[in-house]
Structure 1
Amino acid sequence: MMNNVSVITIFYLSGLNDKINHRLILFSLTLLCYCAILLVNISLILTIISDKNLHEPMYILLCTFCINGLYGTTGFFPKFLWDLLSPVHVISYSGCLVQALVMYSYACSDLSFLAVMAYDRYVAICRPLRYHSVMSRQKLIKLMCFSWLTPFCIIGTNIYLTSRLKLCSLYIARLFCVNWIIVTLACYPAETIVNSIVAYITILIYVFHGFFIVWSYICLLKTCVSSIENRAKFMQTCVPHLLSLTTFLLTILFDVMNMRFGLKNLPQPFNNFLAIEFLVIPPLMNPLIYGFKLTKIRNRYLDVITFKTVKLSCLLCRR
């Protein structure tokens, strides 16, 4: 086996039971879920892009947040839908590394965007007179580049280190490729020390993101307690952010616990759901949360729906 490790070109994804029943139903539900994710995210993105009144830092960040959700789900759903219709669940070695890069850079970018959005709310409520100078267009572009490029480079470094390992197994017990599991397939565990160090540094970086968000909200709460106007701003713009943050952290927590502790006593379908929930729940819920809670976006939706309804009524009347 040691002589053949260099010729590994594919991985077998064994997370999906080969004897699974009702595969067509699962395929239909998955396709429906993916279409719903595409619909709600693209609708919100187009709404923000098309309405100049929404060309403000908070809404631009929300737009890029939704684009990131589309980026992450595209790394999983098309391949998973194909696997549901295929008798053999395989992925190329390079494709596996790319999938791991896409999905985990998406997750890290999500946390970065949540941190930047917390900073935006902190400046808007705690430093309102300086908001437009602090959140200038140049600063906004820098923050968006930070939220995308930094996670991509960090996760890319992890993936590069993984690509240098000699592997002794072709089987990944998941529905998709996970960098941590690929590392466990290494023939020589001693070679994975650098991978582990970089992985813990990565975790530490994003733990600091979490601390920054907590600090931002401590400042926000202190400011909002003494002002009715600030409390109204907090309820309107910060509550959706907190809901998104809570959803994201819970889904990531369950996924990490599932990877690290291997809840093998649970049914396989439930384990699979725990593995993919960070790719399903946040991308689906975030646009809905913001769309219903933020007044400008909600009013824009209502205007579009009203216009379409009136136009349809006029067409029916002419007939």
Structure 2
Amino acid sequence: MINSTQVSYFTLSSYFDTGGFKYLYFLLILSLYVIIVCANVLLIVVICVNRSLHEPMYLFLVSLFVNELYGSTGLFPFLLVQILSDIHTVSAPFCFLQIYCLYSYATLQFHNLTTMSYDRYLAICYPLQYHTRMTSTKVAVLIALTWLLSFVGVGVTVSLSSSLQLCGNIINTVYCDNYAIVKLACSDTRVNNIYGLSYTSLVVFIPLLLILYTYMRILEVCFSGSKQTRQKAVSTCTPHLASLINVSFGFFFQIVQSRFDMSSVPMMLRNLLSLYILTCQPLFNPLMYGLQMSKIRSLCKRLIFGKT
């Protein structure tokens, strides 16, 4: 057995020789990263500098956009270095650090979407009591708990994985993945599996049930309410619902990629599927919210073009 502390590096075997195309891939990934950073920073600045947007819904959006920057920074610089490198290795400490960043990013996605659905539920189902139920203190507590619970939960996951005894150091992905490392273990992984299953249920299934409940109540109010209520629900819930569907697809692709034998699938397609949630979501969210929410859209135009 090789103890995990004796594994000084991991080899990422999903990279393949792209020849002269690696510079093209580098430019494409770099351009995508720049677009993601600019889009998310723009919306964060627009919300922060305009007092009219200092409402719970937009503050939750800031938390979402900051998380997109956090997750993208945990992935894209690493990808850029690996694309130009001829030896696709990563040190063990950095690998576990990247796992921590990417897993906490994914956890925060669901937590943020859950708090946002709760906010919309209060705004649509209890419009007259909204400001007394969703106070500034409550918003701050919800955002703080969202980040704290994600960091603590993923911290336990990484600490359990880093203490495993490993019998290899080859990971069949383009970035460090916790489940891929657990599969390398030649020691007992029951604690890792039990905690992983329990934590996944808390992170994914319980939030999905809460979101499902809030949307059932919102639909109930919409069908029995006025046309103005329905229009408000559609305008504010459409971006959230689209983001939820997109992130669910990303998690589905990731589960399929890690749990099932994908050797018959071309490596390029496997890599794209594994990167879906980490690349499409940070680009999708700012575009969706920026285009769908008229208040943000008009303020973005004013900031960029100087229009009144």
Q: Scaled by the length of structure 2, what TM-score is found? A: 0.96
* Structure 2 contact 9–89 (Cα < 8 Å) conserved: yes
Aligned-residue offset at 1:261: 1.1
Q: What are the Cα deviations for residues 24-81 of structure 1, in whole angstroms up to 9, with x where unaligned?
A: 1111101011111111101111110111110100001001100001101111110110
Root mean square deviation of aligned Cα: 1.4
The structural deviation recorded for 1:3 is: 5.7
How far the C-alpha of 1:214 sits from its partner, in A, is 0.5
Alpha-carbon distance, 1:304 to partner: 2.5
Query: Which letter does structure 2 place at the counterpart of 1:193?
Result: R
14-23 vs 246-255, greater mean Cα deviation: 14-23
Q: Cα distance, 1:306 vs. partner? A: 3.8
**Where does residue 172 of structure 1 map in the other structure?**
171
Equivalent position amino acid for 1:164 in 2 = S
Contact 2:11 2:171 in 1 (8 A): yes
Name the CA shift for 1:268/1:288 in 2 (closer, same or farther; >3 Å).
same
CA distance in 2, matches of 1:246, 1:21: 37
SS in 2 for 1:12: strand
2:245 corresponds to 1:225: no
Counterpart residue type for residue 168 of structure 2: S
Inter-partner Cα distance in structure 2 for 1:62 and 1:154? 22
Partner of 1:22, secondary structure, is helix
- CA 174–20 in structure 1, closer or farther in 2 if over 3 Å, else same: farther
Assess, with a 3 A threshold, how the Cα gap between structure 1 residues 20 and 274 changes in structure 2: closer, same or farther: farther
CA distance in 2, matches of 1:132, 1:4: 55
| Offset of residue 204 of structure 1 | 1.1
Match of 1:193 in 2: 190
Alignment partners' CA distance in 1, 2:135 and 2:66? 21
Per-residue deviation, 1:18? 3.6
In 2: Cα distance, 1:305 partner to 1:100 partner: 36
Do the aligned residues in 1 keep the contact of 2:166 with 2:186 (CA within 8 Å)?
A: yes
What percent of counterpart residues are identical?
37
With over 3 angstroms needed to count, the CA separation of the structure-2 counterparts of 1:181 and 1:3, relative to structure 1, is closer
> Which sections of structure 1, spanning at least 5 residues, go unmatched?
311-319
Would the aligned equivalents of 2:2 and 2:167 in 1 still touch at CA under 8 Å? no
For 1:65-144, list aligned pairs within 5 A.
65-144=64-143
Residue 5 of structure 1 deviates from its aligned partner by: 5.5
Distance 1:5 1:295, change over 3 A: closer
Q: Distance in 2 between matches of 1:152 and 1:264?
A: 33
Rounded Cα–Cα distance in structure 1 between residues aligned with 2:277 and 2:4: 32
User: Which whole-Å CA distance do the structure 2 matches of 1:6 and 1:94 have between them?
Assistant: 10
Bigger Cα Rg: 1
1:198-209 alignment to 2 at 5 Å? Answer: 198-206=195-203, 207-209=205-207
